[in-house]
Structure 1
Amino acid sequence: METQMSKIHQTTYNALFGHPIAHNLQWHDVRSLLNSVADMTEEHNGNLKFTRNGETLTVHPPRHKDLSDIEELKKIRHFLERSSVPAQPIIAEGVHLLVVIDRREARIYKTELHGSVPETITPYDPEGSHRHLHNVDDEANGQRQPELKQFYEDIARCLRRATPTLIGAKKILIFGSSTGSSSAMDYLLADLKEHHPDIAGRVIGTVVVNEQHMTEDQLLAQARSFYAALK
Structure 2
Amino acid sequence: MSTPLRHDLDLLHTSLLTGKLPRNLTWADTIELINQIGEVQPHGNGEFVFTVGTQRAFFKRPHTHDLAVEEIARLRKFLRDAGPAPISGKSSQPCRMVVVIDHHVAHVYRDVDQKVPELEDTAHPYDPFGFRHHLIHKKEAHYEGERIPEDKTFYEQIARELLPANEIVLIGHGVGTSSAVDHLAEYLKENHQDTSRHVIAKETVDLSALTPPEVEAIAKEHMIVVV
TM-score interval, normalised by the smaller of the two chains: 0.5 to 0.7
Residues 200-219 of structure 1 aligned to structure 2 (within 5 Å): 202-203=200-201, 205=203
In structure 2, the residue matched to 1:126 is none
Letter in 1 for 2:63: R
SS at match of 2:70: helix
Q: Which of 181, 185, 191 lines up with 1:185 in the alignment? A: 181
Letter in 2 for 1:46: G
Check the 8 A contact 2:37/2:86 in 1, yes or no: yes
Letter in 2 for 1:179: G
- Mapped to 1, the partners of 2:21 and 2:105 lie a distance apart of 11
Check the 8 A contact 2:98/2:110 in 1, yes or no: no
Letter in 2 for 1:61: R
- Mapped to 1, the partners of 2:30 and 2:55 lie a distance apart of 17
* Largest Rg, 1 or 2: 2
Change (3 A) 1:68 1:43: closer
SS at match of 2:76: helix
Change (3 A) 1:47 1:20: closer
Unaligned runs of 5+ in 1: 118-128, 164-168, 211-218
In structure 2, the residue matched to 1:199 is 197
Letter in 2 for 1:182: S
Letter in 2 for 1:69: A
- Mapped to 2, the partners of 1:113 and 1:134 lie a distance apart of 45
Unaligned runs of 5+ in 2: 115-129, 133-138
Residues 106-121 of structure 1 aligned to structure 2 (within 5 Å): 111=111
Shift of 1:102: 5.9
In structure 2, the residue matched to 1:62 is 62
Check the 8 A contact 2:109/2:131 in 1, yes or no: yes
Change (3 A) 1:162 1:200: closer
Check the 8 A contact 2:170/2:199 in 1, yes or no: no
User: Any idea what the Cα deviations from partners look like across 1:62-97, whole Å, max 9, x if unmatched?
Assistant: 123x21411212222332333233224599645154
User: Any idea what the Cα deviations from partners look like across 1:72-125, whole Å, max 9, x if unmatched?
Assistant: 1222233233323322459964515425356689898763557999xxxxxxxx
Calculate percent identity across the aligned residue pairs.
Answer: 21
Change (3 A) 1:68 1:49: closer
> Segments of 4+ in structure 1 off by > 4 A?
14-18, 89-92, 101-110, 112-117, 133-139, 190-194, 206-210, 221-226
Check the 8 A contact 1:102/1:183 in 2, yes or no: yes
- Mapped to 1, the partners of 2:205 and 2:27 lie a distance apart of 40
Change (3 A) 1:5 1:192: closer
Shift of 1:9: 2.6
Letter in 1 for 2:201: V
Change (3 A) 1:112 1:208: farther
Letter in 2 for 1:85: P
TM-score, structure 1 normalization: 0.53
Change (3 A) 1:57 1:8: same
SS at match of 1:85: coil
- Mapped to 2, the partners of 1:111 and 1:10 lie a distance apart of 17
User: Any idea what the Cα deviations from partners look like across 1:31-58, whole Å, max 9, x if unmatched?
Assistant: 1111111122222333111122222332
In structure 2, the residue matched to 1:174 is 170
In structure 2, the residue matched to 1:72 is 71
Out of 28-37 and 42-51, give the one that drifted further.
Answer: 42-51
